Amino acid sequence: MSVLPPSVCVFCGSRPGKDPAMMQVAADTGALLARRGWRLVYGAGDVGLMGETARAVQEAGGRTFGVIPTHLIHGEVARASLDALVITETMHERKKVMFANSHAAVVLPGGAGTLDEFFEVVTWAQIGLHAKPVILVDTNGFWQPLMALVEHVIAQGFAAPTLRDLITVVPDVAMLEVALSAHLPG
Could you give the number of structural domains in the chain?
Answer: 1
Residue 122 lies in a domain: yes
What is the amino acid identity at position 47? V
Task: Enter the pTM of the model.
Answer: 0.95
**What separation in angstroms does the CA of 27 have from each of 45, 58, 129, 149, 159?**
14, 11, 31, 28, 34
Residue 1 lies in a domain: no
Q: What is the pLDDT of residue 4?
A: 74
- The model's pLDDT over 135-175, given as tens digits with 9 standing for 90+, comes to 999 999 999 999 999 999 999 999 999 999 999 999 999 99
Q: What is the pLDDT of residue 161?
A: 97
Q: What is the pLDDT of residue 75?
A: 63
CATH code, domain carrying 105: 3.40.50.450
- The model's pLDDT over 73-126, given as tens digits with 9 standing for 90+, comes to 766 677 778 999 999 999 999 999 999 999 999 999 999 999 999 999 999 999
Residue 69 lies in a domain: yes
Q: Give the length of the chain.
A: 186
Q: What is the pLDDT of residue 2?
A: 57
The span from the CA of 54 to the CA of 26, in Å, is 9
Residue 135 lies in a domain: yes
Residue 145 lies in a domain: yes
Whether the CB-CB separation of 103 and 181 falls below 8 Å is answered with no
CB count within 10 Å of CB 163 equals 17
Residue 52: closest CA among 22, 83, 88: 22
Residue 186 lies in a domain: no
pLDDT band at 71 (very low <50, low <70, confident <90, very high): confident
Q: What is the pLDDT of residue 79?
A: 74
Residue 159 lies in a domain: yes
Kindly tell me if the per-residue pLDDT of 186 is higher than 90: no
Q: What is the pLDDT of residue 104?
A: 98
Q: What is the pLDDT of residue 185?
A: 83
Domain span at residue 58? 7-181
Helices (H), the chain: 20-36, 48-59, 91-100, 112-126, 144-155, 173-181
Q: What is the pLDDT of residue 155?
A: 98
Residue 59 lies in a domain: yes
Higher pLDDT, 42 or 70: 42
